[in-house]
Amino acid sequence: MTSTRETAFTVNGRAVRLDLDPRESLLDVLRERLALTGTKKGCDHGQCGACTVHLDGRRIVSCLTPAVQVDGRRVTTIEGVAEPGGDLHPLQRAFVDHDALQCGYCTPGQVMSGLGCIAEGHAGDDDEIREYMSGNLCRCGAYPGIVAAVRQAATGERDG
């Protein structure tokens, strides 16, 4: 028998209060309970980055984060990245500009990690971007476009 724990947190600016099993991952709560399916379940072991979200502005892998640990905290998922009015965030636009997605499965995690990379000041050059994005895997091999997109968003310049 497992008891639940009332957990209150904010997701994409919206207050949420749920009774959670302490064994539930943040990823499963986002997808199964809150219907925020943009965050993907890739490996479920914290190795692929498909489940990357922001917790209090810092990127984390949500598959390894117990949901009860986000009590009183702020979670941002890919659904919360678009600008007011629904316009794409500059990094999302850059992903389109650079064809930085193919199948799209890893894209939400790549975008969330890219936003973290930029916010942390680790987008100075392509090598640094590659290093700080290395926890996010892309099975399609869209890495050149992903790096170019992060560079574009970090510099604010638009290529072609």
- For 89-146, what is each residue's pLDDT tens digit? 999 999 999 999 999 999 999 999 999 999 999 999 999 999 999 999 999 999 999 9
Pick the CATH number of 5-80 from 3.20.20.70, 3.10.20.30, 3.40.1080.10, 3.40.50.300: 3.10.20.30
Residue 119's H or E segment, with its range, is: helix 107-119
Query: 115 is written with which tokens?
Result: 């936003």
Answer yes or no: is pLDDT of 23 > 60.
yes
Q: Where in the chain is the domain with CATH 3.10.20.30?
A: 5-80
Output the CATH code of domain 84-155: 1.10.150.120
71 and 8 Cβ atoms separated by less than 8 Å:
yes
Measure the CA–CA gap between 103 and 63, rounded to whole angstroms: 21
Q: How many CB atoms lie within 10 A of CB 18?
A: 16
- Note the pTM of the prediction, 2 decimals: 0.94
Q: What number is the average pLDDT over the span 143-152?
A: 97
Q: Where in the chain is the domain with CATH 1.10.150.120?
A: 84-155
156 falls in which pLDDT band (50, 70, 90)? confident
